[in-house]
Amino acid sequence: MPQNTQTSEGLAAQQNDPSFANIWQELKWRGLIKLSTDEAELEKLLAGDPVTYYCGFDPTAPSLHLGNLVQLLTMRRLQLAGHRPLALVGGSTGLVGDPRPTAERTMNTKETVNEWVGYLQGQVQRFLSFEGENAARMVNNLDWTAPMSAIDFLRDIGKHFRVGTMVKKEIVASRLNSDEGISYAEFSYQVLQGMDYLQLFRDYNCVLETGGSDQWGNLTSGTELVRKVEGATVHALGTPLITNSDGTKFGKSEGNAVWLDGSMTSPYAMFQFWLNTADADVIDRLKVFTFRSKAEIEELERSVQEAPHKREAQRALAYDVTSLVHGTDATDKVIAASAALFGQGSLEELDEATLTAATAELPRAEVGTDALGIIDLLVATGLSKTNSEARRTVTEGGAYVNNRKVTEIDAVIGETELLHGKYLLLRRGKRNLATAVVSAK
């Protein structure tokens, strides 16, 4: 079962930047507005009395990812401005899945989707406040779709949608023109999402939906349905899809999504993901993914321009986002682990999960307790190609085990030195690392 390693400890410290006239202006400066129903009206609306807004998250996986984090933090900014969030985890829309650009989704079982609903609700709760005058509410669209018959759905909801309009939606049009085509189930997804907006408007007077700009067709299906059924004007806001300056897709690491669940993407891996942000991207990432003020970010921008080698902006970004997702304690452990790998801290003080995550990308060898000689270890882990090369490394003072220099070529590492009873960190010189996993043979 995925673990919710996120924490709400940082919520009280978050605040919107008071240097902006209103939250709309701050959202624009942070690059969070690509599409909207009526910019002037939305700015006026969000600068006035508290309004209720919502964003939906479908349980198509057991965890949210960095794309979802954009929405969660946008919701949090609106809440800090005094507005009331509704967090919708789609128990019904998750059973269908919104259309992907390439191919039909694989439908998960009802039991799996229900389980994932619980996981996602737990994650969402850590980014919003559920207390106070503008407390967030958690909603599940299965509550109002499950009791509805197919006939009622078609008569009460489906009759307000025009097929000609539906097929013009960008994602639907692209699928219709592909070899894969699109099923009636995924084609109808926009109807289900539109019904969500109508229900939330009726129950909570919800007047704004936020989401990614790639969901714009689904977002406007709701605004149109509310207009047709209730004669009311409601709004939608589409945030831009985050891409890297080199054109690659953001949020992917070696082909895998960066997940918010710590058992799927470790705090160490997440920290390293942000730490590796390119100079050309880091300021935009700070605007979107942190609560640092305009003045703070501009100072970090100067650092990027004047002293890029210090990577101050990347370190600030990595610390802030990893702390938001996993808490400051986990982030501090990550920093300690990074230092300890290169002899600037104690490896013995790292818990096993952090040590394992920190060494996950290193060369690794499994050895028996009868192969703990330093020469054997250097060769087994690939740090030295031959025994003679390993001996030269030792005699020249370049061999380390758990950050302890080994100077004797016949040295044998004692089992008492094993980290957590089975790990050894090998280092050749200053930067070449590998791990040995020791088991009885």
Query: The sheet that has 432-439: what strands, in order across it?
Result: 364-368, 432-439, 423-428, 399-401, 404-405
Which of 42, 48, 68 is CA-nearest to residue 121? 68
Q: Which of 315, 332, 355 is the last residue of a domain?
A: 355
71 shares its domain with 210: yes
Cβ–Cβ < 8 Å for 285, 324? no
Task: Count structural domains, the chain.
Answer: 3
Residue 298 resides in a domain: yes
- The Cα–Cα gap between 174 and 62 comes to 28
The torsion angle over the Cα atoms of residues 407, 413, 416 and 422, rounded to 10 degrees, is 130
212 pairs with which residues across the strands?
239
- The Cα–Cα gap between 116 and 122 comes to 10
Residue 246 resides in a domain: no
380 shares its domain with 435: yes
Residue 256 resides in a domain: no
Which residue reads 């960190």 in tokens? Answer: 425
300 shares its domain with 368: no
- pLDDT by residue (tens digit) across 217-271? 999 999 999 999 999 999 999 999 988 888 777 765 545 689 999 999 999 999 9
Structural domain harbouring 273: 266-355
350 shares its domain with 370: no
CB neighbour list of residue 179: distance below 8 Å, 6 or more residues apart? none
Residue 419 resides in a domain: yes
Query: Global pTM?
Result: 0.90
- The Cα–Cα gap between 288 and 93 comes to 27
- The Cα–Cα gap between 90 and 43 comes to 28
Residue 249 resides in a domain: no
Q: What is the pLDDT along the chain (441 residues), one digit of tens a residue?
A: 555 444 455 666 788 888 899 999 999 999 999 999 999 999 999 999 999 999 999 999 999 999 999 999 999 999 999 999 999 999 999 999 888 777 778 889 999 999 999 999 999 999 999 999 999 999 999 999 999 999 999 999 999 999 988 888 888 888 888 878 888 888 889 999 999 999 999 999 999 999 999 899 999 999 999 999 999 999 999 999 988 888 777 765 545 689 999 999 999 999 999 999 999 999 999 999 999 999 999 999 999 999 999 999 999 999 999 999 999 999 999 999 998 988 888 899 999 999 999 999 899 999 998 889 999 999 999 999 999 999 999 999 999 999 999 999 999 999 999 999 999 999 999 889 999 999 875
**Which CATH number belongs to the domain containing residue 433 in this structure?**
3.10.290.10
22 shares its domain with 126: yes
Rg of the chain on CA atoms, in Å: 26
Which residue reads 């004692």 in tokens? Answer: 414
